[in-house]
Amino acid sequence: MRKVRLGKTGLMVSEVGFGGIPIQRLSEDDAVAVVRRCIELGVTFIDTAYGYGTSEERIGKAIQGRREGLVLASKSPARDGATFGQHLEQSLRRLGVEHIELYQFHNVSSREQFDQIVGPGGALEVAREAQAAGKIGHIGVTSHSRETATMMAESGLFETMMFPFNFITDEPLERLIPLCRQHDVGFIAMKPMGGGLLENATIAFKWLRQYPDLVPIPGIEKAAEIEEIVAIMEGPAELTAPERAEMQRLADELGTRFCRRCDYCQPCPQGIQISTVMSIKSFARRMPPERVFGEGMRATVAQAETCIVCGECAARCPYGLPVPEMIAQNAAWYNEQMALQGA
């Protein structure tokens, strides 16, 4: 697999990385097998996080005896130094390593959070100490806020920036990506498949190939997924006319008002599975009717109808979506579809 220089880190990583969220849903053996298959296919950049449940431990088991040549990345949501240090030590233990090539501040999406990290006693102090001690190689940051990400790219404090980027969420092209290039900040493209919303991997990754200095990290749950992506990256790069037409159709259909399934809206005080309800039309297109209109989904929608419009979810949404309004609309749509199904 082609290698990409990850900005000022100087790290040479595979042109496609591994996103470690989905393997939480697998059995441990299956998770280990998926990670190892990715490595076999040439994936050397493996990203996870302290907050991704069992992900770090499973990656740690998968890389035993296979550590050489891999670039490991993890993250901490901590803003203060003491908690950040605890998270880092836990990440090292879970991964079974003494050194993590890239450690990132996770989801820094406001000026207040940034100020906490870089201020006295903040996480950046401890990250620098860990870097000097050889526990981490480079320091990066992830975000869902364009304004905050832009400010951080210009700050000179971070070597990498992870931000959502795909042919629907292409706003980073306006300012963020040019700034990252200007300051030699390595750009890591999270959600290259729109958090699962974009189902056509061929279109998604052929579109991304026109930006060869950026590194997409799709979340991988099945070996077949990375096998398909690798084949796309090794095949013809130019989008065909039908592929461009399909891309435009999807862009027109989705616009900017859609859930990226980041789940930063959670927790809901009413226990609503917000991202599931927000994405229910996509589920209906992909799943058999017995699952879409089965007992489980009915219960999920019924819970959504208990929404008290407190506004907490909308305040936390990094994309500024009117979440309660969209929950109500999707629940109404679902009930209409149930009636049509005769359920």
Residue linked to tokens 């009413």: 270
Read off the amino acid at residue 253.
E
**CB contact at 8 A, 185 and 155:** no
Q: How big is the chain by its Cα radius of gyration, in Å?
A: 20
Which residue spans within the chain are E strands per DSSP? 3-5, 12-14, 18-19, 45-47, 71-76, 100-105, 136-142, 160-164, 186-190, 215-216
Phi, psi at residue 193, to the nearest 5°? Answer: -105, 25
Q: What pTM was computed for the model?
A: 0.84
At 57, is the secondary structure helix, strand, or coil?
Answer: helix
Which residue spans within 245-300 are E strands per DSSP? none
- Element at 340 (helix H, strand E): helix 323-341
Residue-wise pLDDT tens for the chain (343 aa)?
999 999 999 999 999 999 998 898 889 999 999 999 999 999 999 999 999 889 999 999 999 999 999 999 999 999 999 999 999 999 999 999 999 999 999 999 889 999 999 999 999 999 999 999 999 999 999 998 889 999 999 999 999 999 999 998 888 999 999 999 999 999 999 989 987 778 899 999 999 999 999 999 999 999 999 999 999 999 999 999 999 999 998 888 777 788 876 777 888 999 999 988 998 887 776 566 887 899 999 999 999 999 999 999 999 897 789 999 999 999 999 999 999 887 5
